[in-house]
Chains A and B, each alone.
Chain A
Amino acid sequence: MEVNSIERGIVIDHIRAGFAMKVLEYLNIDTGNDTVAVIMNAASRKHGKKDIIKIENITDVDSAALGLLDHTATVNIIEDGRIARKIKLTLPLKVINVIKCRNPRCVTSVEPAIPHVFHLVDAAKEEYRCEYCDEIVKV
């Protein structure tokens, strides 16, 4: 299968196989207007299979949300048909309104207006802690 290269935009490579749609959903890309190519289960020397997303004319994505979803993915910013910049993804230290606290005893369950805030506590274990109730979640 062949997908044309883009002149200007963004290529998110090495996404865990089967995860592309979730990444697209979190990035909040307007798939009704923007030109988007989603390649799923492409061959990967490193992982066996991978997903790839190419988005034309958009060079700004929420790398914190992306890092949280799949910090092993690589992000290439394309300008004039070439890679102008690579963004190294890491797990963000703090995320707001990306993870929802599921602890029924947490104050977020009764205060709808407050943001759900989580802090990274263990990058190796991919664990985050709720700012309010200290509940630990694995992403």
Chain B
Amino acid sequence: MAVLQGRDLIEPLDFSVEELDGLFDLSMRVMDRPGDFAKKCEGKLLATLFYEPSTRTRFSFEAAMLRLGGKVLGFSGEQNSSAAKGESIADTVRTVACYADIAVIRHPKEGSARVAAASADVPVINGGDGGHHHPTQTLTDLLTIRKEKGRLRNLRVGLCGDLKFGRTVHSLIKALARYEGMEFYLISPEELTVPEYVRKDIKGGNGSRCAEVERMQDVLPRLDILYMTRVQKERFFNEEDYVRLKDSYILDAEKMGLASADMIVMHPLPRVNEISTEVDADPRAVYFKQAKNGMYARMALIMALLGADN
């Protein structure tokens, strides 16, 4: 993975399909034999610059670095950083880069990670820049699909819920459309369908096809993957539509009965009520494994960017 050494990860498509394949190979090796990697980042420091609170992403990055034998320093919340004194992102990152070997930044403003990367001479990872990009979530999703389905091509993927505002879904579609033979089933109420540019991404993909439907039940039997997201009541234009459609976007044991025996259910978490807890025990529900895979993907990423994977 020498090809990734010293690079940044700002957008989900910053790495080519081949580079991602290498990263996922490495992630799988870490999963199989974590002990072999326990000292790969010994003596290295990861800076976590979290300008807004995050539990899942920060813990995942910190766990990843600690499991590689490295150490972590950083802050969580803008009030705990020099931003509270008015320092710019560029200056903060440039200073932190004097102490750390690699940095991850989460900031509410779109494009903040790009500014950070331009200011630092160490690799920078985007841990989420507002509603813009969250590339390590996309790595997590792709790794989970590859691990659970054994491939990243010729898959029928249903994406369900709020497809209009969900950045996770947009990034995943864009990333999957680069692989051959993908079929997308976009399941959402009319008010929350994907933006036009996402349809263009699908059409411009590697022979991808797509169908848009309002009800999950209509397409469940043909799916290899069901990717769930939350539908918020306040996104609907009127109460009547919400009442009519809300059950179509809640996955329960009865609906799972319509799905094939090897369909997997994914979710970026946190889940609210869009997946009934009765589904958790179903072996097809992989959303908690997905969270664990996120840590392995981040371990592989940190190693690759530091050139510590040999």
| Interface positions of A (Cβ within 8 A of B) | 103, 105-114, 130-134
Report A89 CB to chain B, min CB distance, Å. 29
Q: Are A114 and B90 in contact (CB under 8 A)?
A: yes
Report A128 CB to chain B, min CB distance, Å. 15
Given contacts A114-B90, A114-B115, contact A107 B107 (CB under 8 A): yes
Q: 1/0 per position for B126-147, CB-CB distance to A under 8 A?
A: 0001111000000000000000
Between A108, A109, A114, A130, the greatest number of chain B beta carbons within 10 A of the residue's beta carbon is seen for A114
Report A111 CB to chain B, min CB distance, Å. 5
Between B110, B111, B112, B131, the greatest number of chain A beta carbons within 10 A of the residue's beta carbon is seen for B111
Task: Give chain A's interface secondary structure class.
Answer: loop
In the bound assembly, the distance between CA atoms of A109 and B111 in angstroms comes to: 11
In the bound assembly, the distance between CA atoms of A72 and B131 in angstroms comes to: 37
Partner of B89, one of A106, A107, A133: A107
Given contacts A133-B132, A134-B132, contact A106 B88 (CB under 8 A): no
Write out the residue numbers on chain B whose beta carbons fall within 8 Å of the beta carbon of A106. Answer: 109-111
Pick the 4 closest A-B CB pairs, nearest first.
A132-B111, A133-B110, A107-B111, A107-B109
In the bound assembly, the distance between CA atoms of A113 and B87 in angstroms comes to: 11
8 residue pairs of the A-B complex, CB under 8 angstroms, read A105-B131, A107-B107, A107-B115, A109-B109, A112-B88, A114-B115, A131-B114, A134-B110
Report B16 CB to chain A, min CB distance, Å. 20
Partner of B115, one of A103, A111, A130: A111
In the bound assembly, the distance between CA atoms of A107 and B117 in angstroms comes to: 13
Between B115, B129, B130, the greatest number of chain A beta carbons within 10 A of the residue's beta carbon is seen for B115
Q: Are B114 and A113 in contact (CB under 8 A)?
A: no
**Can you name the residue of chain B whose Cβ is closest to the Cβ of A113?**
B88
Write out the residue numbers on chain A whose beta carbons fall within 8 Å of the beta carbon of B131. Answer: 105
**Can you name the residue of chain A whose Cβ is closest to the Cβ of B129?**
A107
Write out the residue numbers on chain B whose beta carbons fall within 8 Å of the beta carbon of A105. Answer: 108-110, 130-132
Q: Are A132 and B89 in contact (CB under 8 A)?
A: no
Write out the residue numbers on chain A whose beta carbons fall within 8 Å of the beta carbon of B115. Answer: 107, 111, 114, 132
Write out the residue numbers on chain A whose beta carbons fall within 8 Å of the beta carbon of B112. Answer: 107, 132
Write out the residue numbers on chain B whose beta carbons fall within 8 Å of the beta carbon of A134. Answer: 110-111, 132
Q: Are A103 and B110 in contact (CB under 8 A)?
A: yes
In the bound assembly, the distance between CA atoms of A136 and B183 in angstroms comes to: 28
Since A107-B111, A108-B111, A114-B90 are in contact, a sample of 13 more A-B pairs with Cβ atoms closer than 8 Å, ordered by chain A residue number, is A103-B110, A105-B110, A106-B110, A107-B89, A107-B109, A107-B129, A111-B115, A113-B90, A132-B112, A132-B114, A132-B115, A133-B109, A134-B132
Report A63 CB to chain B, min CB distance, Å. 27
Report A83 CB to chain B, min CB distance, Å. 42
Write out the residue numbers on chain B whose beta carbons fall within 8 Å of the beta carbon of A107. Answer: 89, 107, 109-112, 114-115, 129
Report B269 CB to chain A, min CB distance, Å. 24
**Can you name the residue of chain A whose Cβ is closest to the Cβ of B91?**
A113
In the bound assembly, the distance between CA atoms of A110 and B112 in angstroms comes to: 10
Write out the residue numbers on chain B whose beta carbons fall within 8 Å of the beta carbon of A113. Answer: 88, 90
Q: 1/0 per position for B234-245, CB-CB distance to A under 8 A?
A: 000000000000
**Can you name the residue of chain A whose Cβ is closest to the Cβ of B108?**
A105
Write out the residue numbers on chain A whose beta carbons fall within 8 Å of the beta carbon of B88. Answer: 111-113
Report A129 CB to chain B, min CB distance, Å. 11
Report A94 CB to chain B, min CB distance, Å. 15
Write out the residue numbers on chain B whose beta carbons fall within 8 Å of the beta carbon of A103. Answer: 110
In the bound assembly, the distance between CA atoms of A5 and B68 in angstroms comes to: 75
Q: Are A110 and B109 in contact (CB under 8 A)?
A: yes
Q: 1/0 per position for B30-56, CB-CB distance to A under 8 A?
A: 000000000000000000000000000
79-105 of chain B: CB within 8 A of chain A: 88-90
Partner of A131, one of B109, B111, B130, B132: B111
Report B197 CB to chain A, min CB distance, Å. 9
In the bound assembly, the distance between CA atoms of A107 and B88 in angstroms comes to: 10
In the bound assembly, the distance between CA atoms of A85 and B111 in angstroms comes to: 41
Partner of B90, one of A109, A111, A131, A132: A111
Write out the residue numbers on chain A whose beta carbons fall within 8 Å of the beta carbon of B89. Answer: 107, 110-111
